[in-house]
Amino acid sequence: MPEKLFETFRKSFSNKKFEHNYFFHIGLFVVTFITTTIAGIELTTGKIGPYQINDFIHGLPYSFSILFILGVHEFGHYFASLYHKVKVTLPYFIPLPHAIGLFGTMGAVIKTKSHIPDNKAMFDIGAAGPISGFIACLIVLIYGFTHLPPAEYILQIHPDYYSPEYGKNAIGLAFGDTLLFSMLKFLFTNVSQFVPPMSEVYHYPYLCVGWFGLFVTSMNLIPVGQLDGGHIIYSMFGEKKQEAIASIAMILLVFLGVLGILGSFLNIGPTIGWSGWLLWSVILYFFIKVKHPPVNKFEELDWRRKILGYIAILIFILSFSPTPFIISLWTKS
């Protein structure tokens, strides 16, 4: 299903009648706003339609936050492209009904419509998105951790949360922790507060959206092909090193995907990895490609760009979770 959706949107973006159609961009944004608002309602209240007007208020913190992070990321690319006089489209926000995808969206993309002249421009355009988006994630997560609701909040969703029978023999979903998420939790919460476990984070809009933003950022920073990470590594180290690093990254993704299958479906081995990494590696191999295409002019980056490049690599390390989703027989943690 994700491959077909990806291909459908790719063909849509290739259609010239949509290239300057602002109504198409606005329409996608509005639909994504609706799908993310509905996702926010269901995640934060547990309600599954039909909805009343008042219900939509509960979904707005989620939808505003997720569109803020996605928008900042894509407009980072957009303004860097304008700076280098590279023609690009406005962002295409991609809606996804909550019944199909947990978060109400598949993210957002922009399409490059002219040639990128050199690796410096390639670096700036590639790095501007994830670095900007990461800052947006930090803002949302810090706000989420410093404005945690009291324990009564979770009881409104799960009245039996403190019961020994809560979740017994049920299938549960937990988000995988990341270095940054753990660091912010440690810095901005204390033992007197109720801090939701990773199995309940998706009920807290700012924490859920911030975690999702880190997940999307890390996926984009994988140093493969024309992902943002591929642009950055290629621009910093050149074609041969990028291809070597990308090949190692693909092997690790496949390895984590296989571990996820063994752990989740066959109940073999440790709880590490995620079967989705195997699917993502297939999408990368056939659609994004492993090797970054060359640019006409390549020269060594200045020290400022190199620092930003290493910051982007650090962001990837802080944001990446080898096991982003854990689906298992539910237990409280």
Domain boundaries, the chain: 2-329
pLDDT tens-digit map of 54-94: 889 999 999 999 999 999 999 999 999 999 999 999 999 99
Long-range CB pairs of 57-65, under 8 A, 24+ apart, other chains included: 61/205, 61/206, 62/36, 62/37, 62/104, 62/205, 62/208, 62/209, 63/33, 63/36, 63/37, 63/39, 63/104, 65/140, 65/205, 65/206, 65/209, 65/210
DSSP 21-64: -HHHHHHHHHHHHHHHHHHHHHHHH---S---HHHHHHHHHHHH
> So what's the pLDDT on residue 51?
84
> So what's the pLDDT on residue 48?
82
DSSP 62-85: HHHHHHHHHHHHHHHHHHHHHHTT
Question: What tokens does 148 get?
Answer: 């945690």
> So what's the pLDDT on residue 92?
96
Contact 183, 141 (CB under 8 A): no
- Amino acid residing at 257: G
Residue appearing with tokens 């063994």: 262
pLDDT tens-digit map of 220-249: 999 999 999 999 999 999 999 999 999 999
Question: What tokens does 212 get?
Answer: 């999702």
Nearest-5° Cα angle at 247, 255 to 310: 100
Q: What's the CA gap between 230 and 250, in Å, rounded?
A: 12
Looking at the predicted structure, is the pLDDT value of residue 3 above 60?
A: no
> So what's the pLDDT on residue 6?
46
Mean pLDDT of 284-307: 95
Confidence tier at 26 by pLDDT (50, 70, 90) = very high
Mean pLDDT of 153-168: 86
> So what's the pLDDT on residue 327?
81
> So what's the pLDDT on residue 178?
97
DSSP state of 271: S
Tell me which residue of 167, 79, 54, 77 sits closest to 126, measured CA to CA: 77
pLDDT tens-digit map of 192-224: 999 999 999 999 999 999 999 999 999 999 999
Looking at the predicted structure, is the pLDDT value of residue 135 above 70?
A: yes
Pairing status of strand 92-95 against strand 171-175:
unpaired
Q: What phi and psi values does residue 172 have, to the nearest 5 degrees?
A: -115, 155
Looking at the predicted structure, is the pLDDT value of residue 16 above 90?
A: no
Sign of the torsion angle spanned by Cα atoms 262, 267, 268, 271: positive
Looking at the predicted structure, is the pLDDT value of residue 11 above 60?
A: no
User: How many percent of the chain have pLDDT more than 70?
Assistant: 90
Pairwise pLDDT comparison (330 vs 74), residue with the higher score: 74
Query: Burial of 328 by CB count in 10 Å (0-12 exposed, 13-18 middle, 19+ buried)?
Result: middle
Looking at the predicted structure, is the pLDDT value of residue 172 above 70?
A: yes
Contact 83, 127 (CB under 8 A): no
Coil vs helix vs strand at 168: coil
